[in-house]
Structure 1
C-alpha cells in the first residue's frame, strides 16, 4: 500500500485542516450539553457523524498533493479511537482542532465551551484555582479563590459558593495547608470536612467533588519541605471522600506527565494546564 496521489486516487484529509469537520463536532458537542439529552445517544450521534464525515473525506478526490501511508494510518487510528470517546473526550478533540486552527493559541471559543460545560458549577480553592478565572477558562462567578487560601482562612469562600447552590461544587485546598498544619493531615481533614459539611447544609443538592493536591516539582519540594507531604495529604483527602460520600478527583498525574506546564515556582501552572484539569473534573462529575 503506497502513498496516494492525484488523478482519481484518494487521500485522507488532515482533520486539523478541515473546518467543516471541526464545526460539525462543535455543533454535536454543543447539543450534548442541552438538558434532557441522554449521554449514550449523544455519544453515538457524535461517533456516527465523525465516521460519516471521515469516510466522505477518505474517498474524496485528491486535490492537495500526497500523504504517506503512515499519515493515513494515523488518521484512521484517530477516528477509530473516537468510538470509545466520552463527551469530554470529544470536547478535547475539538479543542485540539481549535488550537491547530489558531496557530496553537487558546481561543475565546474554546474557553467559552468550558464555561458552558461548567455552568451552574463552582470551583473553590487557593491561588492555583484562581488561575481558572484569571486566564479566562471560567467566569469569576464560577470561581471562589484567593492567594494564600487555606481551610483556615477561607470559610467566606465556602459561604459565597454555597449561596449560588451549584449543581456541582469542586474544592481544591491543601497546598498551603501542608505548611499551615506542619504536616498534620488529620487536623487538616478535620477542618476541611467541617467546612464542606457546613456548605452542604446551605446547598444540600450540590454534588461535592474534592480535588487532590497537585504534584509540586522536586525543586519546589527542595525549597519547601512541607509540600513534600502532598502524597500523605492526598491519601487523607481520598479517605475523607470515601467516608463522607464525596467524589475524589485525582489530578496528580497532570503535572507529572506534563512538567512543561509548571510555572517557575514549581507549584503553580501555565494556562495550558487548566483544560487538562477541567477535563478531569468534568469526567468525575459526569458533566
Structure 2
C-alpha cells in the first residue's frame, strides 16, 4: 500500500580524518613544537582506521581538548542536541518500537535493527497481532507504538474504531508486561496535496485527539512529533506528502528518547 522509500547512497568520510586535518592545521599555525598538538594528531591518526563504535568516546574527548566540532552536536531545531548514530543504538537497546512503513524506515536507514524495531509495510494497528506478540517476547524495558498512517485509509471518519483497535493492542502489552511503560506516537501532519488526493487522510487530527484521550485512559504517554516537521526550515516530506525523508529520523528518535528519559 505504501511506497518504498528511495534508496539513499551515503558517502562517509571517517570522522578521524576530518578531525586530524583540523588539528594539523591548528598545529601549523605557529605551534609546530607544541607536544600536546603532536600527541593529539598521532591519536587521531590512529583512530582513523578504527571501528567508529569503539572510538566514539575517545573522539568526544579529543573534541573537548581541541575545541573542534565534528558535526555530531547538531540541534533538532528545538534547541535539543540530536543523538548521534552510536547514541541512538545505545539508548534504544533493550526497547521496542512497533509500527508500519514509517517505523520500518528506521531499520532501512540503518539507525536500529529488528531486535528493536518490529514493523511491517502497510500495517494497520488492528492487524498487528504478530508484531505485538514479537514485541512482548523481546521483553523490552519500554514500548513505543506508531500507527495511524494506513489506518486512516481503513477507518476513514470512524476514528473511534481506530482507537478501539489501538486499545485492544495496548491491553495485550499491559497484560503481558504490566510494569513496562508504553509510549504512543502521534500521526504526523499530512500535506494538503496528499489530502486532496486521498481525503480520508484529512481525519488525522481527530485520530490524534483520540490517541491523547486513549493515553489518559490507559496510563500511556502520548508523543507529539508534529513540530519536527512543521517547525523545520526544510521540507521533511517525501513527494507523497505523508512519508518522511531520512533527515526526520534522528530528530524523531531523539524526541522519543528524551520523552522516555532514555540514557546512553
Q: TM-score, normalised by structure 1?
A: 0.64
Aligned equivalents of 2:114, 2:190: Cα separation in 1: 26
What SS is found at the alignment partner of 1:209? strand
Of 110, 129, 142, the residue aligned with 1:136 is: 110
Q: Does 1:118 align with 2:118?
A: no
Is the 1:215–1:253 Cα contact (8 Å) retained in structure 2?
Answer: no
What SS is found at the alignment partner of 2:182? strand
Aligned equivalents of 1:195, 1:244: Cα separation in 2: 11
What SS is found at the alignment partner of 1:129? helix
1:77-98: CA deviations, max 9, x gaps? xx9xx9xxxxx945x2xx6xxx
Equivalent pairs, count: 208
Aligned equivalents of 1:120, 1:269: Cα separation in 2: 26
Of 231, 235, 238, the residue aligned with 1:263 is: 238
- For structure 2, the residue ranges without an aligned partner over 5 or more in a row are 1-28, 31-42, 45-55
- For structure 1, the residue ranges without an aligned partner over 5 or more in a row are 1-5, 8-18, 21-25, 31-45, 58-74, 83-87, 96-109
Is the 2:156–2:203 Cα contact (8 Å) retained in structure 1?
Answer: no
Matches within 5 A, 1:98-177: 110-177=84-151
Q: Which residue of 1 aligns with 2:10?
A: none
Q: Which residue of 1 aligns with 2:259?
A: 284
Q: Does 1:245 align with 2:190?
A: no
CA positional deviation for 1:279? 1.2
What SS is found at the alignment partner of 2:125? coil
Aligned equivalents of 1:191, 1:116: Cα separation in 2: 32
CA positional deviation for 1:124? 0.3
Is the 2:88–2:254 Cα contact (8 Å) retained in structure 1?
Answer: no
Aligned-pair RMSD on alpha carbons? Answer: 3.3
Is the 2:142–2:180 Cα contact (8 Å) retained in structure 1?
Answer: yes
Matches within 5 A, 1:204-223: 204-223=178-197
Of 168, 185, 189, the residue aligned with 2:163 is: 189
Q: TM-score, normalised by structure 2?
A: 0.69
CA positional deviation for 1:219? 1.2
Q: Which residue of 2 aligns with 1:203?
A: 177
Aligned equivalents of 1:146, 1:203: Cα separation in 2: 22
Q: Which residue of 1 aligns with 2:6?
A: none
Is the 1:165–1:205 Cα contact (8 Å) retained in structure 2?
Answer: no
Taking CA–CA contacts closer than 8 Å with sequence separation of 6 or more, which of the two structures ends up with the larger relative contact order? 2
Aligned equivalents of 1:242, 1:152: Cα separation in 2: 20
Aligned equivalents of 2:219, 2:177: Cα separation in 1: 15
Q: Which residue of 2 aligns with 1:27?
A: 57
Aligned equivalents of 2:157, 2:255: Cα separation in 1: 27
Matches within 5 A, 1:5-154: 27=57, 89-90=80-81, 92=82, 110-154=84-128
